[in-house]
Amino acid sequence: MATLTSPSSFVVAGESLVDIVFPADGGEEEDAVGGACLNVAVGLARLDVPTTLVTRIGDDRLGSMVLEHLRDSKVMVPEDSVVAGGTTSTATAHLDAQHAATYEFDLHWELPAQRLAPDTLGLHVGSLGATLQPGRASIQELVAQAVEAGTFVSYDPNIRPFFLEDPDTAWLEVLELARGARLVKLSDEDLELLRPGGKAEQVCRELLAGDETELVVLTRGGEGATAFAEGSMVEVSAPPTDVVDTVGAGDSFMASMLALLCEWGVVSGGTGALAALDDDRVALLVRAAARAAAVTCSRRGANPPTRRELPPTWPAG
Residue 215 · residue 282 · CB < 8 Å: yes
- CATH code for the domain in which residue 269 is found: 3.40.1190.20
Strand partners, 152: 122
pLDDT of amino acid 6 = 62
- Omega before residue 134 within 30° of 0, cis: yes
pLDDT of amino acid 99 = 65
H helix runs in the chain, sequence order: 36-46, 61-72, 135-149, 167-178, 188-194, 200-208, 249-263, 279-297
Residue 166 · residue 193 · CB < 8 Å: no
Which residues have CB under 8 Å from 315's CB, separation 6+?
A: 260, 284, 285, 287, 288, 291
Gap between the Cα atoms of 75 and 49, Å rounded: 9
Catalytic residue from among 245, 251, 278, 280: 251
User: Could you tell me if residue 4 is inside a domain?
Assistant: no
Gap between the Cα atoms of 64 and 42, Å rounded: 16
User: Could you tell me if residue 188 is inside a domain?
Assistant: yes
**How wide is the angle at C-alpha 43 spanned by C-alphas 139 and 130, nearest 5°?**
15
251 assigned to active site? yes
User: Could you tell me if residue 311 is inside a domain?
Assistant: no
**Mean pLDDT by groups of 10 residues along the chain of 317 residues:** 71 92 73 92 98 96 95 94 93 74 82 92 96 95 97 96 90 97 97 94 97 97 94 93 87 98 97 97 97 91 92 88
User: Could you tell me if residue 66 is inside a domain?
Assistant: yes
Q: How many folded domains does the chain comprise?
A: 1
List pLDDT tens digits, range 238-287.
888 888 888 889 999 999 999 999 999 999 999 999 999 999 999 999 99
User: Could you tell me if residue 160 is inside a domain?
Assistant: yes
Gap between the Cα atoms of 68 and 62, Å rounded: 10
